[in-house]
Amino acid sequence: MDIQLWREILDPYFLAVDELKVKFQHLKSEYNNAGEYCPIDQIEGRVKSIASIIEKAQKKDIPLDEIEDRLVDIAGIRIICQFVEDIQTVVNIIKNRVDMNVIQEKDYITNSKPSGYRSYHLIIEYLVHTTKGAKKLKAEIQIRTLAMDFWATIEHSLQYKYKYNIPQTIKTRLSNAANAIIVLDNEMAAVRDEIMDAQDSLQLKDNIVSDILTNVQNLYKVANKREIIKIQDEFLKIYKDGDLYELEKFRKELDIISESYRAQSLM
Ligand code: 0O2
């Protein structure tokens, strides 16, 4: 197959990866803007390289004209979560969407691979539109925790280094590390509520401070300098004390001041 044809084949997959990344990023922003805990920590995406597609097709005895049907991970998205519990939440979010049709599920968390690999895979059908029209293609979404991702990344590099023939001593160490990852994820799950509370408060604080600063910036245009300095000093004092309740109260007061200036300017 010549390069031009590969480009034509892969182009919709690049579009799919870009779109899917934007959609999941936006989901993350929605949670953050609402000051809510987000089950998604990071999003990555890639289109499989031509070399990697050919290698996999040869390994699985797939003729090149059948790769689009039979290679389900030409487009790949990886969603990294903080906690094991978040993985099912993300799976449900995806299953409830009308723009992604789940056609296959692989639960390598309940049934980890002999290597020790753990992750939840969804194969989806996804519709993209290019100048050539609409095209339904397959994409793989891997969902796993930060800890599982750390293990998989290291193991993948070693597979590459040893050309898929990792020496037994290293395999044993990787297997031990995989078990340690299970323990780590379980320990983190036990303190999940505590961590979530802390992160929610941080996000809430960020949102409140951002609102206050926008208001102060707008007041510069209408209020007198002495009043703004007074407001800023008060804000810095409340911020230093670190009381979220007082910070929220201050935001509301500032909203009222800004609103009264807006009303005056309309008179
Ligand atoms: P790359 O380079 O990451 O793209 P199958 O369903 O078994 O017929 P397939 O496609 O091998 O066929 O499915 P599987 O086993 O679910 O693997 C899909 C992808 O999961 C792999 O893609 C890897 O990304 C990841 N994966 C699966 N097993 C392992 C493992 O033991 N270690 C690591 N690190 N990753 C794994 P590729 O194309 O193999 O690789």
Q: Which of 94-108, 160-174, 182-196 holds the top average pLDDT? A: 94-108
pLDDT tier at 202, thresholds 50, 70, 90? confident
pLDDT digits (tens, 9 = 90+) for 137-148: 999 999 999 999
> What pLDDT score was predicted for residue 197?
84
Mutate which of 58, 66, 73, 181 for ligand 1 pocket (most atoms within 8 A of beta carbon): 73
* 22 and 84 together in one domain: yes
As a whole number, mean pLDDT of residues 40-57 equals: 96
Contact 81, 199 (CB under 8 A): no
Helix (H) or strand (E) holding 139: strand 133-145
* 92 and 208 together in one domain: no
The CA distance from 46 to 30, in Å, is 23
122: left (phi over 0), alpha (psi -120 to 50) or beta: beta
Q: Does a structural domain hold residue 173?
A: no
In this structure, what are the phi and psi dihedrals at residue 103, rounded to the nearest 5 degrees? -110, -10
Number of domains forming the structure of the chain: 2
- Cα(39) to ligand 1 centroid in Å equals 24
* 19 and 130 together in one domain: yes
The model's pTM: 0.85
Residue 250 domain boundaries: 194-266
* 104 and 20 together in one domain: yes
Per the annotation, the verdict on 140 as an active-site residue is yes
Strands (E), 85-227: 100-107, 120-130, 133-145
Q: Does a structural domain hold residue 55?
A: yes
* 205 and 247 together in one domain: yes
Q: How many residues does the chain have?
A: 267
Residue at which a domain ends, from 164, 182, 216: 164
Lateral strand order in the sheet of 42-47: 42-47, 75-81, 133-145, 120-130, 100-107
> What pLDDT score was predicted for residue 263?
72
Q: Does a structural domain hold residue 219?
A: yes
Contact 122, 94 (CB under 8 A): yes
pLDDT digits (tens, 9 = 90+) for 114-132: 999 999 999 999 999 999 9
pLDDT at 135 over 90: yes
Q: Does a structural domain hold residue 202?
A: yes
* 86 and 209 together in one domain: no
| Encoded tokens for 15 | 């579009």
Under DSSP, is residue 102 helix (H, G, I), strand (E, B) or coil? strand
pLDDT at 254 over 80: yes
* 30 and 124 together in one domain: yes
